[in-house]
Amino acid sequence: MKRICSILFCIHVVLILFVPAADAAADAPGVSAKSYTLLEPATGTVLAERSAHVQMPVASLTKIMTAAVVLERNVLDEPVEILPEYTGIEGSSMYLRAGETLTVGELLYGLMLASGNDAAVALAYHVAGGIPEFADLMNEKAADLGMENSSFANPHGLDAAGHFSTAYDMAILAGWAMESEQFAQIVGTRNTQAAGRSLVNHNKLLWRYEGALGVKTGFTKKAGRGLVSAAQREGTRFICVTISAPDDWDDHKALLNWGFANYRTHRVIARGDAVAMIPLISGRLEAVTLIAESDVTLLTKAGDSIQVGIEVPPFAYAPIQAGDPGGTLYVEVNGERMQEIRLLYGETTLRDEAMRLTIWEQIRRSFEMAFR
């Protein structure tokens, strides 16, 4: 049984120890943005930033929140009748016409690809009955996500009093939104047809950057050029946000390239994974499984040394209840313990009364099983 425990554990060690050797992470590149954040969303680690918590107008980056709120409350095939007040909104448009009917999905594509301000208004009225009511939903979601320096007054991002966010808050929002398959599919679409319209995504990184996934462009004279991007390579994902960036495309390429060159995300283990088996004494099973209580995800610099270990007893006594703690898994980076989680028993088993042993028999059997 001791060998079984070692085999299960070594599988996970082999999977994570091959970390490419490289020099320590260099300084982040210089960029044109007045404010920016480069975030690794799986761990919430900010790798580089400038004025990331300064409140600024964010123009159409707002529509990331708009789409996320809509997707939480609607299905894509719901019909939306276009009323006159949804049309003729200033700025970018998908050119809605009063009297036509589109689906929520078609409006979302018009919102996120063509950056339609008219689509934003139509969705706000459909979901909440009006702009102020929809803004309340946006602010509720911002509070839920911990976006402490954000306030939304409308669904499209046109300049308005009380409408602002930060590079960091937008990175948190985008990282969360990209976990939705529907959202990720929409913002990752280069072009599509919606209600007889040809829509082309304004996000040029989808064509120009390897691993680009989305997310949204934005511009007003007051806000300047804004861009939120998500990119992933070999299991490592970054969210990059620039606000007021004259050279935003090159800014994102430089920051993302720097991130991929210097950092790696490692999913060490997933919640519920079997990590070890230990012998069981006086039970109806010969051994019990220990499973991970939670995910362990780690961000490291290229070249870091990663070690994983478990601390478990040599055996257990029945009865055992599934979900009870039975050990610990820990992760060390460069010799320093960085994370640890509990290992839980994976099965419930009662004591086998026919196998009830004297204390001396228990000790003898324990040694036999431990050194088998």
Task: Assess whether pLDDT exceeds 80 at residue 357.
Answer: no
State how far the alpha carbon of 218 is from the alpha carbons of 137, 228, 304, 343, 360, in Å.
21, 9, 37, 46, 75
Residue 36's nearest CA partner among 194, 233, 226, 315 is 226
Does residue 145 come out as left (phi exceeding 0), alpha (psi in the -120 to 50 range) or beta?
alpha
- Whole-number percent of the chain with pLDDT over 90: 66
The answer to whether 316 and 289 are in contact (CB under 8 A) is: no
The percentage of the chain sitting over the pLDDT mark of 70, rounded to a whole number, equals 87
Q: For the segment 110-161, what is each residue's pLDDT rounded down to a tens digit?
A: 999 999 999 999 999 999 999 999 999 999 999 999 999 999 999 999 999 9
What would you report as the CA-atom Rg of the chain, rounded to the nearest whole angstrom?
26
Per-residue pLDDT band for 367 (boundaries 50, 70, 90) equals low
Asked whether residue 26 carries a pLDDT value surpassing 80, the answer given is no
Told to judge if 63 belongs to the known catalytic residues of this protein, a careful annotator would answer: yes
Q: What is the mean pLDDT of residues 282-311?
A: 85
Q: Does domain 35-246 have CATH number 2.60.40.1220?
A: no
Least confident segment among 22-26, 72-76, 244-248, 342-346: 22-26
**Whether the domain at 2-19+268-370 and the domain at 35-246 fall into the same CATH topology:** no
The residue that leads in pLDDT, 368 or 201, is 201
Q: Give the span between the Cα atoms of 80 and 104, in whole angstroms.
A: 7
Instruction: Render pLDDT for 185-234 as a digit per residue (tens, 0 to 9).
Output: 999 999 999 999 999 999 999 999 999 999 999 999 999 999 999 999 99
- The DSSP 8-state label assigned to residue 210 in this structure reads T
Single pTM value for the model: 0.82
Question: What is the pLDDT, as a whole number, of residue 349?
Answer: 85
Catalytic residue among 115, 150, 229, 282: 115
**Of 357 and 33, more confident:** 33
- Choosing from 35, 63, 150, 244, the catalytic residue is 63
Q: Report the CATH superfamily, name and number, of domain 2-19+268-370.
A: D-Ala-D-Ala carboxypeptidase, C-terminal domain (2.60.410.10)
* Type and span of the H or E element at 360: helix 359-370
- In the chain, what are the domain boundaries? 2-19+268-370, 35-246
* Residue count (the chain): 372
Question: Of the listed 6, 34, 51, 60, which one is catalytic?
Answer: 60
